[in-house]
Structures are given as C-alpha cells and as structure tokens.
Amino acid sequence: MDACLGSELAGVVRKSRVFVVGTGGIGCELAKNLVLTGFQDIVMIDLDTIEVSNLNRQFLFRKYHVGRPKVQVAREALLQFNPQARITAIHDSVFNPDYNVNFFKRFSLVMNALDNKAARNHVNRLCLAAGVTLIESGSAGYLGQVSVIRKGESECYECQPKPTAKTYPACSIRNTPSEPIHCIIWAKHLFNQLFGEPDADEDVSPDTEATDEHDSGGHKSGGQKSGDLGEHGPGGQQSGDQNSGDLGEHDSGGQGEGVPMSDGLSDGVNGGPVQSKLSTRQWAENNKYNVEKIFTKLYQTDVEYLLTMKQLWEKRTPPTPLSLQQLTSSSDNDGDGAGGSDGCLPDQRVWSVHKCSDVFQLRFSPLLFPHLSVWPN
C-alpha cells in the first residue's frame, strides 16, 4: 500500500476510523473498496436483513444468507479480504439516539450509502454538528453521484433542493423508443417479464391504442420520480431498487392490465396478428418459452404491428422488423463485431444484429433453467 499511496498517505489511511452508513448495493462496494485500500478501522451500521431481491447487486451476500442482517454478513465477507482489519457491525437504525454527535466525533470520516432522504438529512446534520467530513453517494437507475460535504467548505446535503427527475412515457418505451436509455429500460422490463417478477405496467408488448397524443401524455414507464438517491440503508424507509435525491427512484407507472396486445400468432385466415390481452409472461408460458417464437414476436410480429400505426412514423424513422429465419440462414455473418470494430478488445466490439440474435438464443435456456447443466431444447 505504501508504494501505491506513499508512506504518508498510507499512514493516514491506516490510522483513520471510518463510519459506513448502509451496507446495501453501494455499501457492499464501498466497504469492500475501503478494506482493499488499506483502511483498518471500519464501523458499519444497517438495519436491514438480506432478501432474495438483493442478491443480483449486493455481491457480499449469497442465497444461504437470506434472512440474516446485512451488516453482519458484510463484516464476515470483508474479513476474508483482510483478516487483520478491525470491522464492527451494528445491526440498528442510525436514528437511534445512541448515535449522537459525540458518537460521530469518534470518526475521521463518515460515508453514506443510504436509500432515503430522511436518513441522509439526519446523518448530514450530525456530521455538520460534529465537524466530521461526510461523503454522500447514491445511485438511481443507470446513473450515480458522489459528493463531499465538509462544514464551512462545501454546501451540505440539504442546501440545494433536489430537482424533479426526468421520466419516460410508457408509449415511448413500448412503441417509439428514440434514445439508448429507452432501449435499456425496454430490455430490463423484458427480462423481468420473462424471467423475473413481472409488472403489468412494464409489459413490453406494443400498446395497440397508442397515438401521438399518448406519446405526449402523462403515462410514465421505466423512468424515475422524485425520491432519494442511493441504496438500501438503515434509514428505515426503503424506496425500491432505484432511488434518488437528485435523480429519483424507478417509476413503473404506465398503462396497466387490459391493454390489447399482439400475441405474435397468425389467425390462420387472414394472416393478421391475433389480438388478445395476454401479458408477455402469459404469452411466453402458453408457447412453452419457445425461443424462436419469442424472438419472432418481439422483433418481428410486434414491430410489424407498430408499422401499421402510420401516424407514429410521420415524423420518425420507422423500425425494421427482424426475421430470425433470414438471420439464421444469412451468409452475411460478420462475426462478433461490425462497423470497423475488428481488432478491438472483446468488450469494446460492436455486435452485429446476427451476433445479437445468436446470443439471445444461446443464453435463453440458461436463464430459464439456471439449475440445470444440460438444458432442454
């Protein structure tokens, strides 16, 4: 560590006592980084217990930890990185009067990894009163932020009102995505519809009643509403996976159940799509999660239906349906990359449409049957 930081700074790091508030998504990463950087004296506080929904991002926890206090399991995991570290785990709320100004004065630095405004305000005020530097951090959806709060030198957490976060109309997500973030949200919703806990307001099938008026309406999906920026912490008020003060928490509001949507099948008479009120999950189950049928529905049949809504494309570039059969039989296979990405590192290559369709099919069964080593066709 001395070689990386210099002997003087490394000495300061070793002697510092750090208070970490929250051991959720950000807290896990934060605490791990502190230990690996060389901090020897760390106190962590969190009121929450581990839930299954935490496991996809809170990497210090495993399935067999579900139900146990986050902070205790985090301590056990961190000691595997550095058994000599002095790590104290407090399973309690930071609002407890025991954690007062005198308690905060014991620390060289306080680091927040919270998920609600009330807890942030509370810690912010205690740090100002104690004269201790606070590092505030948070995540909201696909964005993040960090700021240093030091009495007399920077504005505090409450000095500036948090702006209302941008939201995304549901119809833009389903029917007329025009930005990369729209596609990312659509893919996230699709994953939940197929493999996670489906939300009727997040169904990715086209909204058959959509018009340009809907596009500018108040239906929101996949965006963010005002809240608090951060991850689960001990503040006692959980506000979901994506929270924010500056950026907002995930908002899945939009058009609910009962919206007609194409089921991706032919009616056998006119060749047109059959209209039904099936959700994407119900449709997939009815078709036994056949990957070819699901691909065809999502990227061909649904897109072809959208193209019949002429008013949507008067001022937009219309989408192009993808035929799985043509992609599979195409001799124009440009491999892993396209657009001059040859020679790049693997994670910097731009995938071709052909490559994307291959990966979609290749990874479908492992996601559907994660417990199997050999997957059914």
Q: Which residue has the higher pLDDT, 195 or 109?
A: 109
Q: Which residue has the higher pLDDT, 54 or 213?
A: 54
* Residues 75 and 195 reside in one and the same domain: no
* Residues 59 and 145 reside in one and the same domain: yes
- Per the rule left: phi > 0, alpha: psi between -120 and 50, beta: everything else, 215 is alpha
| CA separation for the pair 290, 121 (Å, rounded) | 50
Task: Say if 160 falls within a structural domain.
Answer: no
* Residues 70 and 192 reside in one and the same domain: no
| CA separation for the pair 43, 84 (Å, rounded) | 14
- Cα angle 287, 290, 292 (rounded to 5 degrees) comes to 125
Q: Quick one: what percent of the chain has pLDDT higher than 70?
A: 74
Least-confidence region, from 6-15, 17-26, 111-120, 239-248: 239-248
Place of tokens 């581990």: 50
Domain boundary among 149, 182, 212: 149
Task: Say if 192 falls within a structural domain.
Answer: yes
* Residues 259 and 110 reside in one and the same domain: no
Q: What is the mean pLDDT of residues 154-183?
A: 81
Q: Indicate the number of domains in the chain.
A: 2
Domain boundary among 149, 178, 201: 149
Q: Which residue has the higher pLDDT, 123 or 241?
A: 123
pTM value > 0.85: no
Q: Given a cut of 90, is residue 111 above it in pLDDT?
A: yes
* Residues 211 and 125 reside in one and the same domain: no
- Per the rule left: phi > 0, alpha: psi between -120 and 50, beta: everything else, 131 is left
* Residues 46 and 187 reside in one and the same domain: no
Own/partner contacts of 183-187, CB < 8 Å, gap of 24 or more, are 184/142, 185/221, 185/222, 185/223, 186/222
| CA separation for the pair 53, 334 (Å, rounded) | 38
Residue 42's beta-bridge partner residues?
18, 87
* Residues 126 and 177 reside in one and the same domain: no
- Domain of 348, CATH number, reads 1.10.10.520
Task: Rank 35-39, 142-146, 171-175, 199-203 by mean pLDDT and report only the highest.
Answer: 35-39
Task: Say if 235 falls within a structural domain.
Answer: no
Q: Active-site positions?
A: 171
Q: Identify the band that residue 196 occupies on the pLDDT scale cut at 50, 70 and 90.
A: confident
Phi, psi dihedral angles at 276 (to 5 degrees): -150, 175
Task: Say if 377 falls within a structural domain.
Answer: no
Residue 17's beta-bridge partner residues?
41
Is residue 202 within 8 Å of 254, Cβ to Cβ? yes
Q: pLDDT at position 347, please?
A: 78
| CA separation for the pair 261, 266 (Å, rounded) | 13
Task: Say if 375 falls within a structural domain.
Answer: no
Q: Identify the band that residue 267 occupies on the pLDDT scale cut at 50, 70 and 90.
A: very low
Domain of 278?
170-224+251-368
| CA separation for the pair 78, 41 (Å, rounded) | 12
Q: Given a cut of 80, is residue 220 above it in pLDDT?
A: no
* Residues 185 and 111 reside in one and the same domain: no
* Residues 76 and 177 reside in one and the same domain: no
Q: What is the mean pLDDT of residues 191-209?
A: 78
pLDDT digits (tens, 9 = 90+) for 310-332: 877 888 889 999 998 888 877 45
Q: Given a cut of 60, is residue 247 above it in pLDDT?
A: no
Phi, psi dihedral angles at 376 (to 5 degrees): -70, 155
Task: Say if 314 falls within a structural domain.
Answer: yes
Task: Say if 155 falls within a structural domain.
Answer: no
Q: pLDDT at position 179, please?
A: 85
What is the 3 state secondary structure string of the chain?
Answer: CHHHHCHHHHHHHHHCEEEEECCCHHHHHHHHHHHHHCCCEEEEECCCECCHHHCCCCCCCCHHHCCCEHHHHHHHHHHHHCCCCEEEEECCCCCCCCCCHHHHCCCCEEEECCCCHHHHHHHHHHHHHHCCEEEEEEEECCEEEEEEECCCCCCCCCCCCCCCCCCCEHHHHHCCCCCHHHHHHHHHHHHHHHHCCCCHHHCCCCCCCCCHHHHCCCCECCEEECCCEECCCCCCCCCCCCEECCCCEEECCCCCCCCCEEEEEECCCCCCEEEECCCHHHHHHHCCCCHHHHHHHHHHHHHHHHHCCHHHHCCCCCCCCCCHHHHHHCCCCCCCCCCCCCCCCHHHCCCCHHHHHHHHHHHHHHHHCCCCCCCCC
Task: Say if 243 falls within a structural domain.
Answer: no
Q: Identify the band that residue 257 occupies on the pLDDT scale cut at 50, 70 and 90.
A: very low
- Domain of 106, CATH number, reads 3.40.50.720
The gap from C-alpha 27 to its chain's centroid, in whole angstroms, comes to: 15
Report the sign of the C-alpha dihedral through residues 82, 88, 89, 93, in that order.
negative
* Residues 257 and 309 reside in one and the same domain: yes
| CA separation for the pair 277, 275 (Å, rounded) | 7
* Residues 185 and 277 reside in one and the same domain: yes
- Cα angle 304, 312, 248 (rounded to 5 degrees) comes to 105
| CA separation for the pair 92, 71 (Å, rounded) | 9
* Residues 94 and 25 reside in one and the same domain: yes
